[in-house]
Amino acid sequence: MVRGSGRRPDGGRRGEAALTPAEPRRPVRSGPRPGPRRRAADDRAPQRIASLLPSATEIVAALGLADRLVGVSHECDYPADVSRLPVLTRDAGGHPGDASREIHRRVGDALHSGSSLYELDEAALVEAKPDLILTQELCRVCAVGYREVNEVARRIDAGITVVSLEPTTIEGIFNAIVTVGAFTGAEDAALDLVASLRERLADVEETVADRRAIGLTAPRVVALEWLDPPFRAGHWVPEQVRRAGGWELLGEAGAPSAETTWGAVLEVDPDTLVLMPCGLHVGQAVAEWARVDRPAGWRAMDAVRRGRVFAVDGSAYFSRPGPRVIDGIELLAEIFDPDAFVDVAPPGSWTPVQ
């Protein structure tokens, strides 16, 4: 795993206030946070949870309910203990290590034909005996779709509850956490978790506001959720950039990520370029970036000239609409203004690239 650099890149532009140490104030917290209160198990609440989404698995675990998980998707990898659970889905094609362009072609073919990129293992689901299944209908690229899951669940047992989580904003993510809490009898834990996430977010935004007050200008940012071809940021990611103190130049908050061109990136000329390919951890992102041909005019881009091109752990902190999107905001804040946000990013979550 490539670890975050200790370098503090200079984000200043000609005519703008230079980065200066933040004025003394309440420090932005980093490191472990207190866990949510766990309410006593409700006998009427589902006790056997199948999570077909990495983000849903993280929410369940954050609510203190990991012991109720009876199965997860093949992409669920956090917290580490979920690796011991039965796997209920599989990739319908492709090979590990496929290049971005090949994966993009597969996705396009699947969407055009109406087929799925993922398959549900019905036999494994039967054996897991869930009484609650968490899935999604937001993105056909991300997981098995709600309709397929619902049809399989009805065949197995009409009493299984199927919940679709479809947040497109940070507030929507908070609502999804509360929804999971409501369906699992863990409302108190969910409200506590959301309150703690809101407090961390407020800490970041307060520091950003303080820095604006002394003249620091927002970095001009392009975040890319795929590399070949490039995809501009969508859904909650532009909001993550904004709340961390940046100005996202191409992404549209609340809308799906969409294909763009390197010409469009060069035209807006960001001073900070953040590479967060969907589903890839930081080491994988670095390796994938090494495969991508740089476009004509690349070296003239402001971000390249300033040495402000970064690869981040997109899978953990940007692709999954769960509690760790707040870690993603803290990560970006450290990149954007490293004098004010010191060691707030998760270790190994970002690195400069050429």
Question: What CATH number should be reported for the domain holding residue 170?
Answer: 3.40.50.1980
* Predicted TM-score of the model (pTM): 0.84
Q: pLDDT (tens digit, 9 = 90+) per residue, 310-335?
A: 999 999 999 999 999 999 999 999 99
**To which residue do tokens 């299984």 refer?**
160
Digit-coded pLDDT (tens) for 157-202:
989 999 999 999 999 999 999 999 999 999 999 999 999 999 999 9
Identify the helix (H) or strand (E) that includes residue 237: helix 237-243
Mean pLDDT over all residues of the chain? 85
Query: Are residues 171 and 229 both part of a single domain?
Result: no
The last residue of a domain, from among 185, 201, 226: 185
**Which residue, of 164, 185, 206, is where some domain finishes?**
185
> In angstroms, rounded to a whole number, what is the distance separating the alpha carbons of residues 74 and 87?
6
The verdict on residue 163 lying in a domain is yes
191-221 pLDDT, tens digit each: 999 999 999 999 999 999 999 999 999 999 9
102: containing domain: 49-185
Q: Are residues 162 and 237 in the same domain?
A: no
Question: What are the tens digits of pLDDT across the range 124-169?
Answer: 999 999 999 999 876 665 567 778 899 999 999 989 999 999 999 9
Report residue 162 as tokens. 């199927």
Assigned domain for 247 exists? yes
pLDDT of residue 146: 79
Identify whether residues 276 and 343 lie together within a single domain. Answer: yes
Q: Which amino acid is at 308?
A: R
Q: What 8-state DSSP symbol labels residue 116?
A: -
Model confidence at 345: pLDDT above 60: yes
Q: Are residues 181 and 295 in the same domain?
A: no
| pLDDT at residue 352 greater than cutoff 50 | yes
How many Cβ atoms are within 10 Å of 234's Cβ, its own excluded? 19
Considering its fold, how many domains does the chain have in total? 2
**Which amino acid is present at 160?**
I
For residue 11, is it within any domain?
no
230 and 179 co-located in one domain: no
Whole-number Å distance between alpha carbons of 304 and 269: 10
Same domain, yes or no: 231 and 305: yes
How many CB atoms within 10 Å of residue 90? Answer: 14
| Among 134-143, 208-217, 229-238, 261-270, the least confident range | 134-143
The reply to whether 344 and 224 lie within a common domain is: yes
316 exposure class (CB count in 10 Å sphere: 0-12, 13-18, 19+): buried
- Check whether 348 has a pLDDT greater than 70: yes
Residue 270 lies in a domain: yes
> What does the alpha-carbon distance between residue 62 and residue 32 come to, in Å, rounded to a whole number?
13
As a whole number of angstroms, the distance between CA 236 and CA 325 comes to 9
Q: Please tell me the number of Cα atoms within 13 Å of 187 on its side-chain side.
A: 5
Domain ends where: 133, 161, 185? 185
**C-alpha triplet 288, 292, 298: angle, nearest 5°:** 130
Q: Which helix (H) or strand (E) holds 258?
A: strand 258-259
